[in-house]
Amino acid sequence: MANPPAAADPSPPPAWTETELAGDPHATPDKAARVRAMFEAIASRYDLNNRVHSFGRDVAWRRRAVAAARLRPDDEVLDVACGTGDLAEALSKASPPPSRVVGVDFTAGMLEIARAKAGRRTRPLPIDYRLGDAMDLDLPAESFDVVTIAFGLRNVSDPPRAIAEFRRVLRPGGRLVVLEFSEPRVAPIRWFNRLYTERIMPRTAAFLARDRSGAYRYLPRSVASFPGVEAVGRWIEEAGFTGLSQTPLTFGVCTIHAATVPDPVSTPEKAAGSGATA
């Protein structure tokens, strides 16, 4: 007698297995598909998990990223890998306010939440959220004054290619701000941070998000196996940016990398407003 058909399992298979995470998740050939599946799975609890597991620091980190963008009146701003829109929202509420904020992400579920959040405000935020790929932006060259990306660069399959895209869409004098996790330099702090992110947070975050995708085991592995701040700085400079500054936040748990597109006709006023620091 033939076996009865197996009951359909309503939950999707995990985006990452233990074996894949034991190695280098950045080297997985279908990293993009797994990253997207993972963010689709955790989108509804993403903000809550961020607040809880960073002890609210993520809000301050994004505020620092906004400050690093050194916005000028009427700047046009692109936030790549915008996710649920926390950085795009902070940028749109900055003073002076930008004239336009576009948020791009390749996970529809994250954008859905971003749009719902912006619409729920008493005064809805005029942010243009679009589905798109950081490595192949459907945007004209030299169309933005600022490009930001928060906790996104580590997740793209080819970070140098994404940075080349950021350079393409920025105008001369435009500023790039990358906010990304990094490993603290001081050994005891690094040890404690690893203990927290590898042993404690994956369990509590997966519980909060009711997650079976492996997202919160991917997070510490993706940080530990991602090239360090020196490599990120090198990619930015190799893409043609100048005036690179790298600022560690919260003992180096994350770093803000800021740089500028050279402007051949830079005036002293323009230079003073640029994101470049020594």
Give the residues lining the site for ligand SAM (CB under 6 A).
Answer: 32, 35, 39, 81-83, 86-87, 105-107, 110, 133-135, 150-152, 155-156
Least distance (Å) between residue 219 CB and ligand SAM: 8
Residue nearest to ligand SAM (CB): 83
DSSP string, the chain: -PPPPPPP--SPPPSS-HHHHHS-GGG-TTHHHHHHHHHHHHGGGHHHHHHHHTTTHHHHHHHHHHHHT---TT-EEEEET-TTSHHHHHHHTSSSPPSEEEEEES-HHHHHHHHHHHHHSSS---EEEEE-BTTB--S-TT-EEEEEEES-GGGSS-HHHHHHHHHHHEEEEEEEEEEEE---SSHHHHHHHHHIIIIIHHHHHHHHHT--S-HHHHHHHHHHTS--HHHHHHHHHHTT-EEEEEEEEGGGTEEEEEEE---TT--HHHHHHSS---
Least distance (Å) between residue 45 CB and ligand SAM: 13
Residue 70 or 154: which CB sits closer to ligand SAM?
Answer: 154
Residue 155 or 213: which CB sits closer to ligand SAM?
Answer: 155
Residue 76 or 133: which CB sits closer to ligand SAM?
Answer: 133
Least distance (Å) between residue 207 CB and ligand SAM: 19
Residue 86 or 145: which CB sits closer to ligand SAM?
Answer: 86
Least distance (Å) between residue 261 CB and ligand SAM: 21
